[in-house]
Structure 1
């Protein structure tokens, strides 16, 4: 937390998932620790003690009332004593500067910065009760984690990844040999002198982590990675009936067509991950620009953008949580690719954009893909995607976590970045009178990314969908913004300039 924290700047943004105000006049409210757990398990956030939020008030300048606390020193002491007590919270995430006293016109506010907990220490829970003391945060406030959310966090805390799990009673008989042989052929082409080329299929899978033996019990069999990557369709669907793989092409539609191509469970292919990835990548890359390029007498057909698409599809698989209900879905549109995978992000979005660190859930699959040329070195994959898109001046790829759906969505726009000017020229001079900071934030987000959906725009601005719709209605009524096209594929239009 900054030592010169600006309370008014924080409050001007209005309600959001990373801000909680509590009256707390006489002491630390019991509900604070639920918020501590919720912030730590979600995106982090700031708690302000001595501030009352009037939920019915729409104007931010009137919504938050600074009343102060009676004894800030005692509250700070109680906070430190409690956060260091394992009887209340299972881990202390706070540093010295994370609890501050701020004086505003003689009224003292206690500000507490709760960082997002690293995936290795989640879940953060209270009252020595993992099942009832673990909370997360959404636009409605703090809520008890479901059993599925708890299991997800506990699995993610395992640094060894998820895909090494021994699947009892699944053997080499459940492997689709033609699939495995295709993989081995690609491996041998890249590594012609590798000693694993002479191994039989079982030994080959053992070396890749696709087959294992429990030394204590003597049981052996396929791992999750082995079955999902190379298994026959029927055993894959039996063991992972919670998972679907779906590719749908909605580009170049004619008339009433709903899609021009689709790959799903239809009995025409063995439904494993390697086949799915191998079949959809050419479908995605064939319409990308392929400028003529030569290396000596050899034509180079691979491009930065094609490599980036392979990276994106590979990332979708290696970061998926295959233990929850979900769809591994790839959608091709005229203007974008949309990739969706089950599971949430182990790292913050901003850290992923920077690169330098990789925390794949499925490390054995990650290694399998890397050994056939799919997937970059650790932590460099997403920057590769960003660089490839920037090279074409395409709109920046959008990585969005959707906690309510327990999934992650990556949108790769195949169109140029809009110029940094209003889409429509303003009729009047620039104005921003009567606009709240929240409304200005919405306009600036639209200016930057006019193709955001309402859900994504709410996430970008940090408000609930209901709040966004209310603000959008006001902005449209007053002629600041408009919208062209459908809710899903349309774009926002800026009709007036504002003074930022």
Structure 2
């Protein structure tokens, strides 16, 4: 890590006022703190991170330094090598920072095939941690098992279910499945007799005693009633009357409460039916004006339900946990046992070409099992279901789904609001600004709904690339509608005080935000750089840059010397600028 990068990290910590998910600070002047093993394990088991020794979080991250940097660095390297399993090899460097020496260790993320990383002295179960927010949390024994199973391809869906046979399958669904295999995959199945086809498709598998039984995948995909053997492999649906899940003022605990059972295709159909039954309609503003639509788009709901059913953990430890669908007035939450599998992470979940199946055999079956009453199959969107969900919400003018991966569970939350409804459109118009892009309008609406916004969530909500997202967010900051906390990959955005101002009978927002008089007064008869103008006026660099561009175009200031992108560029008032009247906002 370069000194400049360290300075940026510390500056962000001081602005944010606390540790962040991939940076941990410890005040350790003479010896390594005992909790350092927990942090090393947590970083290695999550997404990696930066460990800094010699800063004090209790005093706003002041640089307290370490006494013997060389010894402490060697102790840290030795601990990583001998006390952690598998051994860690972080990049450790001593930095001279604000007059003291501090130690920075960049801990890499472990490949899933090597997890969990744990402290040997505590053992795998008690010594394995994961990073949650800005803290380290010990993994449960179940979560350790999940990580161990992710070292290879899980085979729970191919497990033989003792005492089962073809009589437990829906005969119509089975015959339809066989016919589709022969038609769609002729090379593998067209010339096989029925018994060999069922074995190759993993409908029938050999048990421990050598007898043939149904596989768990076959029971879930084609069975008449899988819950006879696994009662909790079902969906529970609850509709709460309040956003907190507490009873209403009249004492009503649930508006609806249902158990959804059957094979996966039936559960998809019935889960969607009960969600529809509990949905209402709302008005959204589009190109053709006002339109009444359902609260949640069908495609987003279907993909979220299918994703939960197909990717849930089927190991014995998780078979007592059902999928939970919870509807609140402001959101719909779908939670399934088992976190993300393989190379898929929250950050790349919506990227094209990133896909990994925990239950590969089950997914392959469901590619040839249609949804009841439809021609489409359950896993028609294999590898692109999450993208289809996000696209459907975007097309409906809604916020993107929120994903939460907790190793032992995966949760999808879909906020229940149209971003650009009549009230929000009036609010955006009241800001008195022109030239917003469609994606900027969506971002403003998200911020008004108090959602967290960064470059990644901006891209997810709008579909623009990272370069456009950076430019458009910068423009909102320059317009003083949005304030930025942190920088680069730690940057987060929220509405400014001006952005929070509701529509009223006051002067137009454009008059209140006109910075031309302020900049012209600062220039006076001098020639100043952009940085000097920012210091003189107290405005951000983005705001100064924006208004100087406007003023150059209208002829009230002129550029002296190099390109306006250069830090050495200087500006001075023109004759027209000397005559400028603030009563004429542009």
Please say whether Structure 1 and Structure 2 have the same fold, judged by a TM-score greater than 0.5. Answer: yes
| Equivalences for residues 22-421 of structure 1 within 5 A | 22-54=26-58, 62-83=59-80, 85=81, 87-92=82-87, 94=89, 98-127=91-120, 129-138=123-132, 141-181=135-175, 187=180, 191=184, 196=189, 203-213=196-206, 218-233=210-225, 236-237=226-227, 239-247=229-237, 263-264=258-259, 271-281=262-272, 306-323=298-315, 324=318, 325-331=320-326, 337-346=332-341, 347-372=344-369, 373-375=377-379, 379-402=383-406, 406-413=408-415, 415-418=417-420
Deviation at 1:173, TM superposition (A): 4.0
Distance in 2 separating the partners of 1:250 and 1:199: 51
Query: How has the CA–CA distance of structure 1 residues 414 and 146 changed in structure 2, closer, same or farther, with 3 Å as cutoff?
Result: closer
Deviation at 1:68, TM superposition (A): 0.7
Distance in 1 separating the partners of 2:496 and 2:231: 46
Query: How has the CA–CA distance of structure 1 residues 24 and 205 changed in structure 2, closer, same or farther, with 3 Å as cutoff?
Result: farther
CA deviation digits over 1:140-167, x for unaligned, max 9? 9434322212112112222245422333
Query: How has the CA–CA distance of structure 1 residues 135 and 341 changed in structure 2, closer, same or farther, with 3 Å as cutoff?
Result: same
Distance in 2 separating the partners of 1:423 and 1:343: 43
Deviation at 1:393, TM superposition (A): 3.0
**Secondary structure at 2:83's aligned position in 1?**
coil
Is this contact kept in 1: 2:177–2:368, CA < 8 A?
no
Query: How has the CA–CA distance of structure 1 residues 68 and 239 changed in structure 2, closer, same or farther, with 3 Å as cutoff?
Result: farther
Larger RCO (alpha carbons 8 Å, 6+ apart): 1
Query: How has the CA–CA distance of structure 1 residues 161 and 350 changed in structure 2, closer, same or farther, with 3 Å as cutoff?
Result: farther
Work out whether 1:448 is the aligned partner of 2:443.
no
| Equivalences for residues 420-431 of structure 1 within 5 A | none
Deviation at 1:134, TM superposition (A): 1.7
Distance in 1 separating the partners of 2:84 and 2:444: 40
Query: How has the CA–CA distance of structure 1 residues 329 and 47 changed in structure 2, closer, same or farther, with 3 Å as cutoff?
Result: same
**Secondary structure at 2:116's aligned position in 1?**
coil
CA deviation digits over 1:17-41, x for unaligned, max 9? 5443222212333431222112222
Distance in 1 separating the partners of 2:367 and 2:63: 55
What is residue 504 of structure 2 aligned with on the other side?
Answer: none
Deviation at 1:176, TM superposition (A): 4.0
Q: Which moved more, 1:133-142 or 1:352-361?
A: 133-142
Deviation at 1:349, TM superposition (A): 0.4
| Equivalences for residues 432-443 of structure 1 within 5 A | none
CA deviation digits over 1:422-468, x for unaligned, max 9? 9969x99xxxxxxxxxxxxxxxx9973555799x99xx9xxxxxxxx
Query: How has the CA–CA distance of structure 1 residues 358 and 195 changed in structure 2, closer, same or farther, with 3 Å as cutoff?
Result: closer
Is this contact kept in 2: 1:210–1:364, CA < 8 A?
no
CA deviation digits over 1:364-403, x for unaligned, max 9? 1211222343335664332232233333333222222356
Higher helix share: 2
**Secondary structure at 2:403's aligned position in 1?**
strand
Deviation at 1:92, TM superposition (A): 4.2
Deviation at 1:258, TM superposition (A): 7.3
Query: How has the CA–CA distance of structure 1 residues 277 and 416 changed in structure 2, closer, same or farther, with 3 Å as cutoff?
Result: same
Distance in 2 separating the partners of 1:452 and 1:368: 42
RMSD over aligned CA atoms reads 4.6
Number of equivalenced pairs? 413
Distance in 1 separating the partners of 2:190 and 2:136: 54
Q: Output the TM-score relative to the length of structure 1.
A: 0.67
Is this contact kept in 2: 1:163–1:361, CA < 8 A?
no
Distance in 2 separating the partners of 1:192 and 1:258: 50
**Secondary structure at 1:111's aligned position in 2?**
strand
Q: Give 1 or 2 for the bigger CA radius of gyration.
A: 2
Distance in 1 separating the partners of 2:409 and 2:31: 39
Distance in 2 separating the partners of 1:157 and 1:353: 23
**Secondary structure at 2:269's aligned position in 1?**
helix
Distance in 2 separating the partners of 1:44 and 1:115: 5
Work out whether 1:12 is the aligned partner of 2:15.
yes
Q: Output the TM-score relative to the length of structure 2.
A: 0.58
